[in-house]
Structure 1
Amino acid sequence: MTEIREYIDHISPMNEGDWDFFSSKLKKVQFDKNSTILELGKIEKHLSFISKGIIRLYIPTEESDVTFGFLFENEFVTAYDSFLTQTPSEYEMETLTESVLWQISHKDLQEVYDKTENGNIIGRRMAENMFLIKSKRELSFLSKSAEERYLDLFMERPRLLRQIPLKYIASYIGVTPQALSRIRKRIT
């Protein structure tokens, strides 16, 4: 739980009373590799902090899944649109590795916002960060080649990228697995 405290204190330090209140609402959940965290059509009920593991966000289709996000240790993960609106999710989340998450329910998070000194500040900054990640991804699709998107991903997470199956990486950068193989050959 120290990772989440450090992450939050980096955003906006919590006093001990607020931290005790917030941390009392957290639940530690462990998942095996390839476990579904959220199914298509289900309502996202939790905001989760990844203490260990890699999470994939994707849209399941009949032909092949469309991967649009990876989240790693020391990051928050949620189907944010479903979480905010409490409506069914249009995508799924699964673990790519054994994972440990610290979860807080939607209801409990609202209580943290209401009863803590800087809960709203932390929530706003996390929402802003999620927006920036989404915006960066959208801009990369509009302004960069698949090879540049692969290199960006590789530069950001070289060690962790080795744990993600190539078919998911290919989907994430918007190419077929064969095209990704050609990109990887050109780079090496």
Structure 2
Amino acid sequence: MEQIRHFFEAQVPLSDADWNIFRERLTSRVFTAKSCVLSLGQVENHLSFIERGMVRYFVPGDEHEMTFGFSFEGEFMSAYDSFLTKMPSGYSIETLGETKLWRISYEGLQEVYRLSDAGERIGRCAAEGLFLKKAKRELALLQQTAEERYLDLFVDRPELFQQIPLKYLASYIGVTPQALSRIRKRIVQRRVL
């Protein structure tokens, strides 16, 4: 839990009283690898902080799933659109390894907002972080080739390549696993020459 406080205090000064208001509304939950955190059609009722582990966001399909995001240790995760609107989620979230989350419910977060000015700033920081991640992803899909998205991902998140199956990475950058293999081969060939 101290990891969360340090994360918040890097952005917003927190008094002990403000921290206690927030801390009292947090619950922890550990998920095993490949566990469903939220299923397609469920309403998201939590904003979560990942103490350890990682999750992927995906749209299930009969033949193919479409992975469109990841969240990692030290980041917030949520089906945030469902969390805000209280409408069923259009996607699923699953863990990729054992994952420990610190969660606050929608109602708990509203209480924090009412009781603490620092809580408002924390909520805004979490929302802004989720928005920036989404905007960066959308722009990459619109402006970059699959190879450029792969290379950017490699620079931004090299740990992905050791921890996440290639089929999820291929889906994330918008190509088939076979196309990803060709991209990787071209990159290796260029580095050798």
TM-score interval (norm. to shorter): over 0.9
Distance in 1 (alpha carbons) for counterparts of 2:103 and 2:168 = 25
- What's the counterpart of residue 181 of structure 1? 181
- State the Cα distance separating 1:159 from its structure 2 match: 2.1
- What's the counterpart of residue 153 of structure 2? 153
Distance in 2 (alpha carbons) for counterparts of 1:26 and 1:49 = 10
- What's the counterpart of residue 68 of structure 2? 68
Q: 1:160 to 1:2 in 2, by over 3 A?
A: farther
In percent, how many aligned pairs have the same letter? Answer: 55
Moved more, 167-176 or 125-134: 125-134
Unaligned runs of 5+ in 1: none
- What's the counterpart of residue 43 of structure 2? 43
- State the Cα distance separating 1:127 from its structure 2 match: 1.3
- What's the counterpart of residue 13 of structure 1? 13
When normalised by structure 1's length, the TM-score is: 0.97
Aligned residue pairs total 188
- State the Cα distance separating 1:125 from its structure 2 match: 2.2
Deviations 1:57-103 (A, max 9, x none): 00001121000000100000000000001111110000001101001
Unaligned runs of 5+ in 2: 189-193
Moved more, 62-71 or 151-160: 151-160
Kindly report the root-mean-square deviation, in angstroms, between the aligned alpha carbons of the 2 structures.
0.9
* Secondary structure of the corresponding residue to residue 90 of structure 1: coil
Task: Establish whether residue 125 from structure 1 lines up as the match of residue 125 from structure 2.
Answer: yes
Distance in 2 (alpha carbons) for counterparts of 1:172 and 1:11 = 29
- What's the counterpart of residue 191 of structure 2? none
Deviations 1:83-140 (A, max 9, x none): 0011111100000011010011111010001101211112122212221111111111
